Amino acid sequence: MQKRAKPHLRADIQGLRAVAIGLVVLYHLWPNRLPGGFVGVDVFFVISGFLITGHLVRSIGSQPTPRLLVDFYARRIRRLAPAAVLVIVFVLIASVLLLPPTSLAPTGWSALASTLFSQNWYLASQSVSYLEAASQPSALQHFWSLSVEEQFYIAWPLVLLAVALVAHRRRVPMRRALGTAVLFLGAVSFVWSLVHTATDPDVAFFDTTARAWQFAVGAVIALLPERVRVPGWLAWAGIASIAIATLAFSDSTPFPGAAALLPTVGAGLVIAARSSEDGVWSWAYVSRFGAVRWLGDISYSAYLWHWPLIVLLPVAVGHALGTREKVAIILATLVLAGVSQRFVEDPFRRAPWLTARRRRSFVAGATAAAVLVIGSIGSVGVSNAATASENAALIAKVTKGDSCYAAAALGNPDCGNAFGKLDRAHLPESLADKPVAWQDDCIDDITENTEKLCSLGDPAGTQTVLLWGDSHAGAWSSAFDIAGKINHWRIIVAARNKCPSSLVAPDETAWGEKLPQDQQRWCADRNAWVLKSVVPKVDRVVLADLWANYVFDGGRGNQAKGYERLVESTRAVGRDVTVMQHVPLTGPTLEKKVWGPDCLAKQTPSSCSNPLASAYPASTSAVFRAMRDDGLGNAVGYVPVEDRFCDESRCYSAIGGVSVYFDGSHLSNTYSTSLGPWLAKSLRENDTLNSADLG
């Protein structure tokens, strides 16, 4: 016979906690296998609303007094702060040891926000699910839900006490008054959640006021009279609701909003059913077994530890997580959580030197918070200094270093003719010399995932510029990174292979490669998402595609329509649009490319060049001419790039001693980086399509 749960810990709730933490951890490790596992957080919110409300109602009793607030907050500090402080300290130290100094700032800011119970608002302000999705995630990002809970713990006792005091003075039954207040506040929060999720899902996801109704669901259950009984089988209906949400929802589900009803009501049903441990088929009977109960006991520490391990382990081992590493993370999470509960959570919660006087809990909490604030701000300062130094060195290298190196040689009379010059010592590196979009793994093939982005340039830039397009936008990413640092712009890169920045997805490539229907749909969905969720958050949009590479529905005569719709939609939200001429073709046709590094390794640089007429046939500017003819000539900026690759007669695969490309059409990181200073100036001074020479 298994030991029963402790009297003050209901087995059914401990089992529900075990389900919640299991869903969250498995979702973070295998998001494609458990696409809606994030609803485990919603389950925690309902549990917290139930337990905290029940505790407060019992404390308020028939004689409400403000003195109970001090006791409540002191207990919260002893219960939650020790393990949280331990994990934050661990993350700060591990980040210093594992991450370059230039990458410490996000962790520092995240640690500060976590310490001050404001991580959710910090992430909302950063629009993390979109603009930060492709950046290195913070190892403390998961503290957003704890911040929501802490904000609830701060406000909820004040609300309940205020209602209880009014009810006491007016001789209104306290539970009736509290229930009415909770129902009203919960309804208001739910309506706001619907509205906010529909209008700004990025922020709504982290919004405490859009989540308060989930706590209210648990609170209402805590206020139900004892005589109200809910059939025990409804606990299984609740578990089924959570399971359905886990499998049916995904990152693309608008959330919280109406969708959150499914896991929230499901968790509420499990709690309200109060299933008995004596019933063999009851939820509580299943939950009473040791392993399930133990997982529920350590769920708080397990939640704290799992995400830092997921974020930091790939950095430590130098590669993405495989199955073995993921299993190791699960085991390490369980071990660390068990140790934390045994030697940190429980001792501090019961420590006589803290419980003897309430003031000591507040002093200890404030002291720990002050230390974390100092450490967080210090890491930000170190990171900012390192970033400034690195940026200055990089800019100096491409602007003041060897002035005859790569694109820096163009226009410098001391360098002679830079076109066709090659230093063969650098050729072995060329095939792997991919721009930063590839290095940061934020460019991919067309898949259902719609949120992969890069964040480059100056992180504290005065403007945010979106570079949007196919893989050729990714090839320009290193140039935009330097241009952003010079102009003090933050650069967001939305680049995807074979997915040009058009609101009409292409049917095929110019050489007849058919694009499957699902890829067309995913590309269209991706661009619609960028337009809706990213464009409104930037100041300017730059489009970079291999414009001549695609055939759209209706053939080439329809080629410009999707781009024009995108330009018009972008301008409708007040954002300027600039288009970039694409790089020259390296061979006689789009299909027959000359693989730059391979050609240069076997032949002379001049043999790897392409006549200007072949490099820039009329098809390469057809989209721009159509835009101009359709009345968008003055509305769209234009950056010509031809003179960065071509002289009066030919375009080259080697310039200034380096390979221009890492393959048959995409810029090498070296050459793209060297174009940064020129691009910074060109983007500041670009003309419109009407004034451009489009051939």
Report the pLDDT value the prediction gives residue 695, as an integer from 0 to 100: 66
- pLDDT for 528-538, tens place per residue? 999 999 999 99
**397 — pLDDT class (breaks 50, 70, 90):** low
The yes-or-no verdict on residue 212 having pLDDT over 90 is yes
Predicted pLDDT of residue 144: 96
Integer Cα distance of 269 and 249 in angstroms: 20
Average pLDDT over residues 568-575: 92
Phi, psi for 378 (deg, rounded to 5): -60, -40
CA 613 – CA 633 distance, rounded (Å): 24
- What is the pLDDT at residue 129? 41
- According to DSSP, the β-strands at 650-651 and 540-544 are unpaired
Q: 235-239, 520-524, 591-595 — which is least confidently predicted?
A: 591-595
pLDDT score of 618: 82
pLDDT digits 0-9 by tens, 410-435: 878 888 888 888 877 666 556 667 88
Phi/psi for 570 (5° steps) reads -70, -45
**What are the pLDDT digits (tens) for 65-82?**
778 888 899 999 999 999
Nearest to 530 by CA among 450, 607, 596: 450
**656 φ/ψ sector (left φ>0, alpha ψ -120 to 50, else beta):** left
Report how far residue 177's alpha carbon sits from residue 164's, in angstroms, rounded to the nearest whole number. 7
Kindly give, in sequence order, each residue whose CB lies less than 8 Å from that of residue 94, ignoring residues fewer than 6 positions away.
139, 308, 312
Query: Average pLDDT in the 249-273 region?
Result: 94
Mean pLDDT for all residues in the chain: 87
**Helix, strand, or coil here: 515?**
coil
User: Are the C-beta atoms of 110 and 119 separated by less than 8 Å?
Assistant: yes
| 450 pLDDT tier (thresholds 50, 70, 90) | low
pLDDT at 1: 32
pLDDT given at position 391: 58
- 403 close to 678: Cβ distance less than 8 angstroms: no
User: Quick one: pLDDT at residue 245?
Assistant: 96
Q: Which amino acid is at 147?
A: S
In terms of residues, how long is the chain?
Answer: 695
Least confident range from 8-17, 33-42, 391-400, 486-495: namely 391-400
> What 8-state DSSP symbol labels residue 514?
B
Can you tell me whether residue 472 is helix, strand or coil? helix
Q: SS3 string of 244-266?
A: HHHHHCCCCCCCCCHHHHHHHHH
Contact between 7 and 293 (Cβ < 8 Å): no
- Listing DSSP states for 611-662 in one string gives EHHHHS-GGGGHHHHHHIIIIITTTEEEE--GGGTB-SSEE-SEETBEESBS
Look at the block and give the residue holding tokens 């290195």.
Answer: 136
Region 171-197: mean pLDDT is: 94
pLDDT category at 133 given cuts 50, 70, 90 is very low
Residue 406 to residue 402: CA distance in whole angstroms: 9
> Does 193 or 405 have the greater pLDDT score?
193
Please report which helix (H) or strand (E) contains residue 493, including its range: strand 489-496
> Which pLDDT belongs to residue 138?
86
Judge whether residue 145 has pLDDT over 90.
yes
Q: Is residue 606's pLDDT more than 80?
A: yes
What is the distance between the alpha carbons of residues 289 and 15, in angstroms, rounded to a whole number? Answer: 9
- CB neighbours of 640 closer than 8 A, spacing ≥ 6? 581, 692, 693
Structure tokens at 143: 């503290």
Among 561, 571, 601, which residue's Cα sits nearest to residue 431?
A: 601
More confidently predicted of 87 and 129? 87
- Asked which of 269-283, 442-456, 483-497, 647-661 is least confident by mean pLDDT, the reply is 442-456
Residue 366 vs residues 115, 246, 372: alpha-carbon distances, Å: 10, 38, 10
Q: Which residues pair with 455 in a beta bridge?
A: 492
Please tell me the distance from the alpha carbon of residue 633 to that of residue 637, in angstroms, as a whole number: 8
- Picking from 156, 110, 169, the residue whose alpha carbon sits closest to that of residue 136 is 110
Q: Is the pLDDT of residue 493 over 50?
A: yes
Note the pLDDT tens digit of each residue in 478-487: 999 999 999 9
Question: What residues pair up with 651 in beta bridges, in sequence order?
Answer: 610, 646
